[in-house]
Structure 1
């Protein structure tokens, strides 16, 4: 990841004090710092990779039997357990609720386990179902799949719950959508993409975008994660 690369280069700079090419480590470390903390570059590259926003008017003109919501939006390890702790991906759930309330989807299908070897009660889809119950959401029209540990397993297990001839609306983060949509299409689903959680912005270029920013590091981190994930899935034949 970007922060790791910067740290390793500077660590090497301080360790190899007598290396004749040591000065190039300093140049490389400084260059990586400038690149990976530049919000203009990070914003531009992430925008180019992530899926663009769906046309909401076009989405509303159709009707979907299932809205498939991929998990990855809560901290299931946080105590106490009498509430749900959401992270920045909560937009996935908020958009799903909006789509359901507007009658665009019939059934909300939540896919994602995430349980650990020591805690079998941490399936995130079950946690989200409990949250929906707490806000009086009509959970009779919610189905959960709580065994998958990653995106490709979510796509495979969906075949046990969802008729592939039914129209499907896939809901996940914009940066995750290329990999997720590829996995579901590989399983034979005919789907429409509904990206959420945009870390990028569409503002005009401003001087602040060229100042060192931890937001830029986060965007690069997200992009590196998805680049590596997409490449690994492609090599494994999951896409």
Structure 2
């Protein structure tokens, strides 16, 4: 089961990973939306497919009028054939660097795969082999300190933030293993002007079989993302 960005961030936030403040809204919530954070805001389409930025599903707004116009336009979109049932609104972030971090399950090698990129963003797949570091993690032995250091040095970050990076990576490993995830991706992971490591975007995929065991994970399910036939089958 794939989670949209908002629900992915809620799961990551619950694991102690820093994410921007934000709320998920439907079309009936726009007029009364009055968050505590100030403009500029980022309005994002909540869909399960990729490519929403290039499709116009992510916009920065500077005023109330821009927000209402952008929100209604995005909620009326289809992105790769998928309707947009919700948007997420969050404050714009002051970014120094964009990076990439993910953890996936490799059943063939019976390992977890930790992937880190010095740069992140929409073109991560074509960023070049020198940008990407991939490590196989033994699910029995866990994440070791030397592996944390290897990833940190690959990311070429200042040593002053090693402690916060180590904590983030260990939290990502913990949320992945405790919930038996298939994918936990942070793209981009950003370093802000305040020297905070923040998951600016997140993508999580749950194992449907494990969701049936741990029913609490059903709280992250958004049925509006299902097609009509899928809803009838459910």
Task: State the TM-score bracket (shorter-chain normalisation).
Answer: under 0.3
Q: Greater helix share, 1 or 2? A: 1
**Structure of larger gyration radius:** 1
TM (norm. structure 1) is 0.24
TM (norm. structure 2) is 0.25
